[in-house]
Amino acid sequence: MSPRAAGVGATAAAGIATAADLLLLWVTNARRPELGLTAPPAAALVAGSVLGVLAIPLYGLGYWQVATGLPSGRAARTVVLLGAATGVIGAALHGLTGVVLRDELRAGAAAADPLAVIARHGRLLVPLWGLGIGCAVAAAALYAHLVLAGESAWPRWMAAVNPVVLSCVLGALAAPSGVLRAFLLPAAPNLANAIFFGLTVAVRRDRDRTLTAERSRRT
C-alpha cells in the first residue's frame, strides 16, 4: 500500500468514526429534554458502536503515512506505534461506551450530558481515556518535534496541526454552545484525526505535483 492510499484510508476511517460518535451521542443526548432532539432510529446504538470499533484501529495507517514523511529511524517508528496504540485504545473506548449506553438505557438511568455519563462509569472508562490521551499526546509531541527540526517532508507549520492541538481547538469552539458541547466536544478527537489525516494527504499530493512539475521542466 502506498503512503497516499494509507492516508486516504485513514481519513475515511476517521470520518466514519466521527459519524459513529455522532450516532452514539444522538442516542444519549436524545434523552435530554432541554436539547429537543428527535429519537434516533432503533439501530443507531448498534451501528454507532460497530462502525467506530471497526474504523478507529485504522488510524495506524494514517500515522504510518505521516511517519513516511519524517526522518527515518526510531523516532518515526515510535510515532507509528503510539498512533496505532491510540487507535486500538480508542476503539476499545468506543466499544465500551456503546455497552455503557446500552446498559443505561436498559436500566432507565437518568439522562445526562456525555461527559457526565463517562464520569458515572469512571472506574471502567477513565483509566482507558487517560492511557489513550497519554499515547496521543506523546505521538503528537514527537511528531511536532521532528517537523519543527526541519528534517521532515512536512512543512514546519504542520507541527501545530496535529490531533491534540486540533482537538483543543474544536473543544474551544464547542464551549459557548450547549448543542456543540453535547456533540462536537465528545466527537472532537475523531474529527481532529479526520482533519489531520486529510491535511497530510492534501500536502503530500501538492508536494508530489510540485516535484513532478520540476522534473518535467528539467527534462
SS3 63: helix
Q: 218 lies in a domain? A: no
Q: 208 lies in a domain? A: yes
Q: 98 lies in a domain? A: yes
User: Residue 219: its pLDDT value, please?
Assistant: 59
Q: 72 lies in a domain? A: yes
Q: 43 lies in a domain? A: yes
Alpha-carbon span 51 to 148, nearest angstrom: 35
Range of the domain at 119: 3-213
CA neighbor of 97 nearest in space, from 43, 40, 28, 164: 28
Tens digit of each residue's pLDDT (9 = 90 or more) over 159-192 = 999 999 999 999 999 988 888 988 999 999 999 9
Per the structure, how many domains does the chain have?
Answer: 1
Q: 201 lies in a domain? A: yes
Which residue numbers in the chain have pLDDT < 70? 112, 121-122, 208-219
Q: 219 lies in a domain? A: no
Alpha-carbon span 106 to 116, nearest angstrom: 18
User: Residue 81: its pLDDT value, please?
Assistant: 96
Alpha-carbon span 36 to 212, nearest angstrom: 53
User: Residue 208: its pLDDT value, please?
Assistant: 62
